[in-house]
Chain A
Amino acid sequence: MQDDIVLKTEDLTKHYGGVHALDGANFELKKGEHVAIMGDNGAGKSTFVRQITGVEQRTRGKIWLYGKEVNFTGPIDAREAGIETVFQTLALADDLDVPDNLFLGRELTFWNWLGPFRFLDYKAMRQATIAGLEKTAVKIPNIKNTIRNMSGGQRQCVAIARTATFHSRLTIMDEPTAALGVQETEQVENIIRQLKSVGEPLILISHNMRQVMDLVDRIIVFRRGRIVANLKRDETDGQDVVAYITGAKGDDVADVA
């Protein structure tokens, strides 16, 4: 296997009962590369993300991360392996504040011999949060606010800041700007550009053609659970991509690997 492959999947498949949500996905991501995944609602994009990140257990197929085959039993495994994900549902706890959410499930603690009753290091988490927010230039009026009291854009920013606070080897964002206004979208896009400039690889799921054409190196199109196209950004255009999304083009399955 080549050294410069960050993520590779082979025959990745997920069935929900009779629903073939994801079918035989062969996918590759190179170091420093930003790839967009496009496709209609229900095409299987989020399902693909959930299999890679260990949130669900795949029906079949293999996954390699940096050349090593991985079998994540849960989201923590994936995170410890360096995959940071902004889920479509954001996965934020409404009644907790910003540092609490950033560190949820991986709290900084002391007196660890107390097991589940070990103490939270609030100060360290607050400082790391502020550093993380500064790194991504995310604007949050007051990090002690609970998520409940925040706008959609601020929530999205918190979810994104969470991925940026931790050094990651792969970032995945599932429709990060779907619910955002123009300015907020711009802020998220700036964060993505910054990841690019530091060479962190990214998988971006988006319906926004302009955004995709602006930001990524390559576009993968999903349709009905299958990968139907693998297009270099410089060799394609919006119309071409749309043709694949709608099924006007490329009914035979493209082999991406």
Chain B
Amino acid sequence: MSNDLSPSACSAAPILKERGQHEVFCGLTSIIWLHRKMQDAFFLVVGSRTCAHLLQSAAGVMIFAEPRFATAILEETDLAGMADAHQELERVVSDLLSRRSDIKRLFLVGSCPSEVIKIDLATMAKKLSEKYHPDVNVVNFSGSGIETTFTQGEDACLEAVIRDLPNDEKTQLAVLGALPDVVQDQMMRLLTAMGVDDVLVLPQQTAGTPAGVGKNTHFICAQPFLGAAYDEMIRRGAHAIHAPFPFGANGTTEWLAAIAKRFGVDQSTFDAVTAGPKARATRAIAKVSETLTGRSIFFFPDSQLEVPLARFLSDECGMTLTEVGSPYIHRALVGEDLKVIEHNAVISEGQDVEKQLDRLAECNPDLTVCGLGLANPLEAQGFSTKWAIELVFSPIHFYEQAADLAGLFARPIVRSDLLKVRSAS
């Protein structure tokens, strides 16, 4: 096996770094998909009414019976003395666990208020883990807006999960990132067909299956926003596999090829497994691309999926890139995608939303990818938009979803071509 531990370090075009008003959710938002993915886990945010309101607003229409997340809302009395807050939290947790015996993993999720008043959730988690051992494992991570942006909540969660895993020296592949079940199943079929059998997917659906990581673990990220989880894997002695992210026919093939190479899969097996679905995906993308080819696209920073998606849209769908904004650019993760696009787009990191809106007006792109707060105001100004949040909720990875992914971007353009009705105002 070959260990290409560092991404190509030569790619270093200047990145426009911005610091101003951000218009992005905080990491708490990740809970909305994580709690669906991890079916025996409960996410308890220790925060304010704002945090509770953010969760429910971002969850939007998806109100479930009693979701597996909730907020322990801090009140005046909790702010007065620290000892109280810790005791209060113990009481809330005990109430919760006595009502929900199905919970095996409890995440204490830090927020801005809990961090500013320095509630020590890490120690709390340790204490509670001992108290509820072996029934419930209590883990802490931060989803606060002063520490994390949107998808970084999943990153922080995964980092905590990995830190908690025992050492395991067996040779295995670890895939990091929560994927919709249908996508994960497709991925597993492809890997199995290539002969890569020992696969650990993190986060795990349930805590029941034993898992560990160690120095014979080779890992690859399925999501580009897992910088901290990546670092934690490295600390645990695992070896990173670098590749473009598995979006589109080419992205998926290269991602699988990187794994194949590391695990010594021979070329003929690899081709036998991938040729069919690859050809199918390419055909499907070609159809959707008719709408996208030659159109320009602008990304506001949101999910950190921006760089890989821009790679897919320019490389495989023929779109023209203008600005590709991302909250953070981890070269270790997105380096392979970045080197394809960085010479034909402005790459920006961080945000100053007002200035970026000015640049948008100058670029006047055919399609703008942005958050929910900006979408309708931009539509009203005549920009076609795609809500970025849909990209983290929808199945978009691997071959069979490649055309759907392209379709998400094509739909707003198709619509604006279709609509012939004009507004009076």
Pairing of A with B: no
